[in-house]
Structure 1
């Protein structure tokens, strides 16, 4: 807390979490790399969080659509399954160092396996699901069953 201002510094959500097993390790790394050519710019921290693709889910009149951002991932490294009305997206972002003779000073991209699962409504027609992978974005269209699609009913007002 700064003296004289009466204001406390703003804390991030991570600072409010007291049961973070990597917090002490992260603080040590930040102190270790705090000076010299490997220094982090002010306010930056090493992050040990596992990578997980960002996903958007939205509904149209005919479909439920799931879009996942998968930059740098090949189609062959992605697996999409539906089991017990749960859509699961699994894959792996592989570390491929093109510069083998140079040392890395900093690697900020996350690598490794990931998995995202979403419970589907029972109104999805599982036999007609289709997916497209283009420009690092996976789009999954889950068509609604006919009985689940919105219907316009005209009501005569007297």
Structure 2
């Protein structure tokens, strides 16, 4: 059985054959596989006390990750060790896999390098970087003279 991708009338091309040919070429070819970014998506957030870095990396185990801090550069890398097992599946297209990746982030001077925690749950690697006490925003009311 072969899976075929259909347009389902979502595009309104003047020449549907022309559009379908190029759509198929750019969306399903060897070329597009090479154009797809192989690094995981990341979310970075901040609150008054800490920074939060989240990476979407499904299909890995926590043993596959390596997290290093060199001066103020936080580097997250992963390498998935694949075992040579005899597969009975014959893939016509295979898109999701991480062999390895490296992401680096420059931490601000307000980050406390001694208080970095990491957790990997449900395909999301979460890092929490605490802020230094003197960097935390302290609010106060200023009186007018």
The TM tier, using the shorter chain, reads: 0.7 to 0.9
How many residue pairs align between the two structures? 122
Q: Distance in 1 between matches of 2:87 and 2:27?
A: 27
Q: Does residue 65 of structure 2 align to residue 83 of structure 1?
A: no
Structure 2, gaps ≥5 residues long: 1-13, 15-20
Cα distance, 1:131 vs. partner? 1.0
Contact 1:50 1:110 in 2 (8 A): no
User: In the superposition, relative to structure 1, how do residues 50 and 154 fare at CA in structure 2: closer, same or farther (>3 Å)?
Assistant: closer
1:45 aligns with one of 28, 31, 38:
28
Give the root-mean-square deviation of aligned CA atoms.
2.7
1:152 aligns with one of 122, 139, 143:
139
Could you say what secondary structure the match of 1:125 adopts? strand
Structure 1, gaps ≥5 residues long: 6-30, 35-39
User: Paired residue for 1:25?
Assistant: none
User: Paired residue for 1:143?
Assistant: 130
Structure having the higher strand fraction is 2
Cα distance, 1:51 vs. partner? 1.0
Q: Deviations over 1:94-135 (max 9, x none)?
A: 557988123111111243110000100011111111111111
Could you say what secondary structure the match of 2:141 adopts? coil
TM-score, normalization by structure 2: 0.73
User: In the superposition, relative to structure 1, how do residues 118 and 75 fare at CA in structure 2: closer, same or farther (>3 Å)?
Assistant: same
Structure 1 range deviating more: 74-83 or 103-112:
103-112
User: In the superposition, relative to structure 1, how do residues 57 and 127 fare at CA in structure 2: closer, same or farther (>3 Å)?
Assistant: same
Q: Does residue 60 of structure 2 align to residue 73 of structure 1?
A: yes
